[in-house]
Structure 1
């Protein structure tokens, strides 16, 4: 829990993680909100890259290339390749997609190393509805590549289709190995240890009971 606590604490101090009442894209009112886009300094991105790198190495998953979905996945995938090289001497390639395909120059919808028929790890920040993940899966499958795993910073562990959490729904239907660095359970554990923030625990537990797995 130490490294998870470190990340949660850092995100809270940077105001990327907030507790209160927040309207989500799904229409649900959440007692917490995480915006990785606010972790935007050199120090921030170094930390994020390290967390992903450590998780990838610990997983022992075999892969050829990292893929970051536009837009938030782009700095994540770049930072992670740097961390893998600096801390594990592992020199890996990365790629990311454009929101719109370029019609001039090199053209196409992908930038970086070619992913055709390679083993790919997808890196994203938060999974709730799964829309971005599904889009990335489609892009990679069109390249006849194999998805080795999907890594996310935060798994909200909320119900999706067929009364499953979104992350399990994707995993069950496509047999993809999905790894989350922190979950709502980790957030609750963090709040328990902080007397100034533990007032938010009942709201998180209530939300988890209503929407969680």
Structure 2
């Protein structure tokens, strides 16, 4: 029996080595029983399929939007490929979606500036892989608002559903929840930690990792 769209994405990430189980020291310094590295979607076929997952998650959200924005650097190929996937999505009925991205440093020749692509206008969806500290979202929201456009949502691959902070002083909310509260915009994810756990529970070959992931979620999850 096929799983949900989110569980299908989890299996896709497993097949490409993007999602792995074991013991990994993550950016926060925590020892995590799983690791997700979207940078390992690194060939044309994988990125094309990834973009279809992003496009479907955005369509399924029911949110209205006018264009996509990819924060440098990981968001650049994600926004580009997702715009291509949306152009061929039947729900958009032939409508094409503009996209833009930023440079880390302003260009001092040609058109100059830090923005590349379509002018920022209307309802803008920010696309990234995950949200950790929320820095790229903060910078993106500022750029979009400065251009007179409206940040409409953030679209990510995986919601880790994890609180920040040191043990004993954990934040009340996850990074995703904090972004939603800080900017008043929804965060849409293709999949979440709950979906990873559902795949683990339903797969005898992976079930050995289930308790470690469940214990991590009990400790740090929301």
TM-score by length of 2: 0.90
**Where do 1:17-166 residues align within 5 Å?**
17-88=19-90, 89-115=94-120, 117-160=121-164, 162-166=171-175
Q: Deviation at 1:157?
A: 0.7
Q: Deviation at 1:90?
A: 2.1
Partner in structure 1 of residue 208 of structure 2: 199
Q: Quick check: 2:7–2:191 contact (8 Å CA) kept in 1? A: no
Partner Cα distance (1:69, 1:86) in 2 = 23
- Against the structure 1 CA distance between its residues 101 and 38, is the aligned structure 2 distance closer, same or farther, given a 3 Å change threshold? same
Deviations 1:133-182 (A, max 9, x none): 22222222222221111111100011147411111111112211111110
Q: Deviation at 1:87?
A: 2.2
Runs of 4+ in 1 over 3 A off after TM superposition: none
Gaps of 5+ in 2: 166-170
Partner Cα distance (1:10, 1:174) in 2 = 31
Q: Quick check: 2:87–2:96 contact (8 Å CA) kept in 1? A: yes
1:176 equivalenced with 2:185 (yes/no): yes
Question: Once superposed, what is the RMSD of the aligned Cα atoms?
Answer: 1.4
Q: Deviation at 1:25?
A: 1.3
Q: Deviation at 1:185?
A: 0.6
Equivalent residue pairs, number = 212
Secondary structure of 1:144's match? Answer: coil
Deviations 1:3-62 (A, max 9, x none): 222221121111111111111111111111111111111111111111111122222222
